[in-house]
Structure 1
Amino acid sequence: MKMSGNTILITGGTSGIGRALAEAFHDRGNTVIVTGRRQALLDAITTERPGLVGLPLDLDDPASYARLAESVRARFPALNVLIANAGVSRTEDLTADAWDAAAAQAILDTNVSGVLRTAAALLPILKRNADATFMATSSALALVPRADFPTYCASKAFLHSWLISLRHQLRDFPVEVLELSPPYVQTELTGAQQAADPRAMPLGAYVAEVMQLLERGDHPRGEILLERDQPRRWAERDGTFDVLFAAMNPTA
């Protein structure tokens, strides 16, 4: 992936990792478009960062993707980088009588269907442009899950597998397929407490490492993964899954 001179669209770009990536790429001389559901947040980021473009996208509204694609074709036909970053996360107690599958479905609608619909809407544009990249945000929890976030982790495992297949199917197209797998980062993904949790990696430090990996092309198999997360990535292969799972999911 080239680091400047791109036209980049980032879903979920008004906060967290998405916003930090948007600003980092904008600083490197790219045209950057961020999408979000709330117009107030889009207005705020484009005011604070002149030159950034905000476009509305409601991940729960299928018609919203068609409107986004139409707007991009008309205004940004050179779009060559798409980062499907929008995601939600929450704990679920599957043992509770009150647990409702609707809560899990809401996570899947955003984390899985949102990525698929974004890809369906915008991949046709990417495939026509040079130096194209499609990136989706997975998680280091895709392969060794936190059991209290069952659907979230499963949604990221889906993306890990789906991106492997997408990469294979696009092998004859000039589109690089990348998987961004963050660790526990100081964002508000699970609430305000995560953004202040000292156990989480500072957001700025994480995005700085990601940009360095991209600049060096250091993403084997298309996976953008920090060194600290390699043990989880290879837990099954290395025979350490049970130990790591137990450490992440204590029973007492």
Structure 2
Amino acid sequence: MNIEGRTVLVVGGTSGIGLGLARRFAAAGSTVVVGGRRSVTLEGLDSLEVDVTDAGSVLRARDEVLAKHPDLDVVVTMSGVMLPEDLRDPVHFAQAQTTIEVNLLGTIRVVDAFTPHLLARGGGDIITVTSGIAFLPFPLMPTYGASKAGVHAYTVALREHLRGTGVGVTELVPPAVATAGQELLNPAALPLEGYLDEVVDLISADPTPDEVVVRAAQRLRWAERDGTYADLLEQRSRSLGSLRAG
């Protein structure tokens, strides 16, 4: 994927990996718009408000972006939440519902809003974001893993639906990256800039891989294939002790 001279929308791009990726596109000479639930001022980037849990908000953001940037040709959908849940307590359903609304349905809303535009222009790229946890659950955040597994399956299907249209579909599969407090949960979380270096190298390849899986994410992505799934799941289940201690 060429990242130079593109017109890019990053939904969920006001912080973390999304903002880092937006800045990498901008540094390569692309015009970049970032969307988030709150309006922010970011040097060198346009911004707008969009709430991916609200279909009307997504459509208003679409109309605003396309009115100003009719040549939009890259849509990145990054919005996500990570919420711990105690599955012994039915109260967890509120966290589960929020997680599905943002991570899975939010992705679908953004994709649905912009796919007709990309098809009409005869080409472009959609980038979805899953997680290593989509392939190897982190039991403390069960619905997060389920939502990201859903985004993975949806992305695979979307790629097949759009095959031959000129619209590419790429899945970003991050491991733990040191943003939004991840460095506190996981001291092994990758530094953001190092992670982005790998992502840009992979995403700029020709052909672009269907899945952008940096080295640190490969042990999660391929755990079943490599026969390490059970051991890694046991390790990751130790985090449940924080719930049981309470």
TM-score by length of 1: 0.89
Equivalent residue for 2:93, pick from 79, 86, 101: 101
3-state SS in 2 of match to 1:4: coil
Unaligned 5+ runs, structure 1: none
Mapped pair 1:243 → 2:224:
no
Mapped pair 1:141 → 2:133:
yes
Equivalent residue for 2:219, pick from 231, 235, 245: 231
Q: Percentage identity across aligned positions?
A: 38
In the TM superposition, what is the alpha-carbon distance from 1:234 to its structure 2 partner? 2.1
Cα separation, 2, equivalents of 1:217 and 1:227: 19
Q: Is the 1:79–1:129 Cα contact (8 Å) retained in structure 2?
A: no
2:189 aligned partner = 200
Cα separation, 2, equivalents of 1:185 and 1:61: 28
1:115 aligned partner = 107
Which shifted more, 209-218 or 9-18? Answer: 209-218
2:2 aligned partner = 2
3-state SS in 2 of match to 1:24: helix
Equivalent residue for 1:55, pick from 26, 48, 62: 48
In the TM superposition, what is the alpha-carbon distance from 1:218 to its structure 2 partner? 6.9
Question: Alpha carbon RMSD of aligned pairs, Å?
Answer: 1.9
1:164 aligned partner = 156
In the TM superposition, what is the alpha-carbon distance from 1:247 to its structure 2 partner? 2.3
2:16 aligned partner = 16
Matched pairs, number? 240
1:81 aligned partner = 74
Cα separation, 1, equivalents of 2:184 and 2:20: 13
Give the residue type in structure 1 aligned to 2:205: R
Give the residue type in structure 2 aligned to 1:20: G
In the TM superposition, what is the alpha-carbon distance from 1:197 to its structure 2 partner? 5.5
Cα separation, 2, equivalents of 1:243 and 1:219: 32
Equivalent residue for 1:67, pick from 57, 60, 68: 60
Cα separation, 2, equivalents of 1:229 and 1:93: 26
Give the residue type in structure 2 aligned to 1:200: A
Cα separation, 2, equivalents of 1:79 and 1:218: 21
2:244 aligned partner = none
Q: Is the 1:2–1:131 Cα contact (8 Å) retained in structure 2?
A: no
Which shifted more, 53-62 or 178-187? Answer: 53-62
1:186 aligned partner = 178
Q: Is the 2:122–2:165 Cα contact (8 Å) retained in structure 1?
A: no
Unaligned 5+ runs, structure 2: 242-246
Which shifted more, 26-35 or 239-248? Answer: 239-248
In the TM superposition, what is the alpha-carbon distance from 1:96 to its structure 2 partner? 2.9
Cα separation, 2, equivalents of 1:144 and 1:242: 9
> Using a 3 Å threshold, how does the CA distance of structure 1 residues 156 and 196 change in structure 2: closer, same or farther?
closer
Q: Is the 1:84–1:136 Cα contact (8 Å) retained in structure 2?
A: yes
> Using a 3 Å threshold, how does the CA distance of structure 1 residues 58 and 246 change in structure 2: closer, same or farther?
same
Cα separation, 2, equivalents of 1:77 and 1:106: 32
1:124 aligned partner = 116
TM-score by length of 2: 0.91
